[in-house]
Amino acid sequence: MSTAVPLIVRVLASSVSVAGKAGKIVRDVMSKGELGIVEKGKDDYQTEADRSAQRCIIASLSAQYPKVNIIGEEDNPDNEGDISSEWLAVDADKEILSIECPSFLKGVKEEDIVIWVDPLDGTSEYTQGALMLKRDPWERWKMYLSHPLISIKWYLSLLQSHYGFLEHVTVLIGISVNEKPVAGVIHQPYFKSLIDGEKKIGRTIWGLQEVGVGGYTAAPPPDSLVITTTRSHSNPIVEKALQVMNASQILRVGGAGYKVLQLLEGVASIYVFASPGCKKWDTCAPEAILNAAGGKLTDILGNYYKYGASVTKPNKTGVLAAVNNDLHTYALNRIPQELKDKLASSK
């Protein structure tokens, strides 16, 4: 890769490439059926796909950009040690390498960059999808019994959905400079498409500030107000924030990455999550891409999050996002001050 290409463009091009590699790892773990589920906390699970995909991403990017600070969701000893060469992605996306770098990013050095990695955003949807792929009812039940950390509620919820929730699963790589998200990658390992008569699985969406976005077909927001929000981490404050929006429809889906994709593709108008449930690796990439598309992502109070290496990881005051400023302002004004104060007091 030519060093004549500005560093931030090279990092984005490498991130697009490695996100696809990580997506393949996610699918491979699923196909083998050995998810290796462990419980990190209440309603917070990790699988072998999370661990392996993160090792791939961090090892690949660290090898190319050793001075870049990379922060991953899965903080455990499995991320350390030697990595198999087949897990390393050393190439870079040629389309990205050809784009013009914004002038304000041309002088960025490796030490200025912090990369936030969520190797598998939507783990609960991933595990539910794994169960659904066991088409035979007895095989599905045996898989459930072999993973007791999966609740019976998850299992029954899955059976109600014929296809599971695999499309909600994403790989997220967010790139920040001076604490601000400037570029991002969202990879959907299970997105299915037909290109030139050939079936394809997986797609990668990217964005770079002052350049734009790629990898999807943009669409305007719905004519009526459609809200997207969490399907698995609700509480009374979350529900109150949804009620005051006067939405015609509320979509409850998994993963911050998938919710922002719904905004970009015109499926939803606003993303509302009035809870401290997500973290910086959940929002850095989606925020960067949404910004590049002309949208806006803040906390419920209307403040931007910072993505420097030393910031606290939890997004303690929730998420409010929209594909344009007008919709974001509408949503921000609808949320009662009392609710904002409750979230602010939890910081």
Of 66, 46, 52, nearest in space to 23 by CA: 52
User: How far is Cα of residue 28 from the mean position of the Cα atoms in its chain?
Assistant: 19
Query: Which amino acid makes up residue 228?
Result: T
pLDDT at 193 over 90: no
Of 78, 74, 165, which Cα lies nearest the Cα of 119?
A: 74
Q: Please give the distance of CA 334 from its chain centroid, rounded to a whole number.
A: 26
Q: What's the predicted TM-score (pTM) here?
A: 0.88
Please report the domains of the chain, with CATH numbers, ordered by start residue.
7-214 (3.30.540.10), 226-345 (3.40.190.80)
Please tell me the total number of residues recorded for the chain in this structure: 347
Active-site residue set: 50, 123
Tens-place pLDDT, residues 250-302: 999 999 999 999 999 999 999 999 999 899 999 999 999 999 999 999 999 99
pLDDT band, very low/low/confident/very high, at 162 (cuts 50, 70, 90) = very low
pLDDT in tens, 96-148: 999 999 999 999 999 999 999 999 998 778 777 766 665 556 665 565 566 55
Confidence of residue 79 (pLDDT cuts 50, 70, 90): very low
pLDDT at 39 over 60: no
Q: Is the pLDDT of residue 158 over 70?
A: no
